[in-house]
């Protein structure tokens, strides 16, 4: 049974705090890079860090709707778009780190990597699926697409999350605890999505049958 939260907090203030704090990991990464404290392999460290941040923000954005429904805090939905865009932002940095510092914009080498290394192909596919979601994240695009078409398009975020977790798992060679942790959280979110979808279908059928025929 969901709890109802009547009082609405200062959404603008929370959004500002969230916006600033979401940039803190990038600032810390930049500071460590400036001090040359990214370890023996700075490129690998930066690539891994931005990839983890991508998954983190992606899963947090997916958790907004379940939290909203379970707590009754409908104002939480106002932060989902920002969280999703931060996931795209960090995924872009993740890709840029690979393309720039690892491959030096050698697109032929990148294509060969995608063809010969499955984990890169999975990661690249997940990123490409994120692009249309980021482009259609504005209110104008929602109006142009229509609510139903927009909702269908953005359901692909679950496929993107699965691809991201699989990509991370395939990269890790020994310690798989973190990929498994991300996978467990994603599994819970997917189960919740399936359960709520199956619970609402009978209601929709009864409602449609109860409508008077013209």
Residue 21 lies in a domain: yes
Q: In Å, what is the CA distance from 203 to each residue of 57, 69, 190, 200, 210?
A: 33, 17, 21, 5, 11
Residue 103 lies in a domain: yes
Q: What is the count of structural domains for the chain?
A: 1
Residue 72 lies in a domain: yes
Residue 198 lies in a domain: no
- Note the pLDDT of residue 133: 95
Residue 37 lies in a domain: yes
Query: What confidence tens digit (pLDDT) does each residue in 149-184 have?
Result: 888 899 999 999 999 999 999 998 788 999 999 999
Query: What confidence tens digit (pLDDT) does each residue in 191-204 have?
Result: 999 998 887 655 44
Range of the domain at 90: 11-189
pTM: 0.86
Residue 135 lies in a domain: yes
Share of the chain above pLDDT 90, in %: 63
Which whole number is the average pLDDT over 83-87?
96
| Listed residue (60, 57, 131, 59) closest to 87, CA to CA | 57
Query: What confidence tens digit (pLDDT) does each residue in 99-128 have?
Result: 998 888 888 999 998 999 999 999 999 999
The pLDDT-based confidence of 205 (bands split at 50, 70, 90) is very low
pLDDT at 1 over 80: no
Task: For the chain, report the end-to-end CA distance as a whole number of angstroms.
Answer: 38
């Amino acid at each position: 049974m969901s709890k109802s939260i009547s009082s609405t907090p200062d959404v603008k203030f929370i959004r500002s705090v969230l916006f600033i704090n979401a940039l803190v990991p990038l600032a810390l990464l930049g500071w460590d890079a400036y001090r040359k404290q990214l370890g023996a392999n700075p490129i690998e460290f930066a690539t891994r860090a931005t990839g983890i941040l991508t998954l983190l923000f992606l899963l947090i954005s997916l958790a907004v709707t379940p939290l909203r429904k379970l707590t009754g805090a409908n104002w939480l939905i106002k932060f989902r778009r920002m969280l999703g865009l931060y996931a795209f932002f960090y995924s872009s940095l993740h890709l840029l780190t690979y393309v720039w510092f690892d491959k030096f914009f050698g697109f032929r080498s990148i294509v060969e990597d995608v063809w010969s290394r499955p984990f890169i192909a999975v990661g690249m596919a997940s990123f490409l699926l994120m692009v249309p979601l980021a482009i259609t994240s504005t209110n104008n695009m929602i109006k142009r697409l229509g609510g139903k078409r927009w909702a269908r398009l953005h359901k692909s975020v679950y496929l993107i999350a699965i691809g991201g977790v699989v990509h991370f798992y395939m990269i890790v060679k020994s310690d798989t605890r973190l990929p498994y942790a991300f996978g467990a959280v994603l599994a819970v979110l997917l189960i919740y999505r399936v359960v709520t979808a199956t619970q609402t279908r009978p209601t929709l059928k009864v409602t449609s049958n109860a409508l008077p025929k013209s």
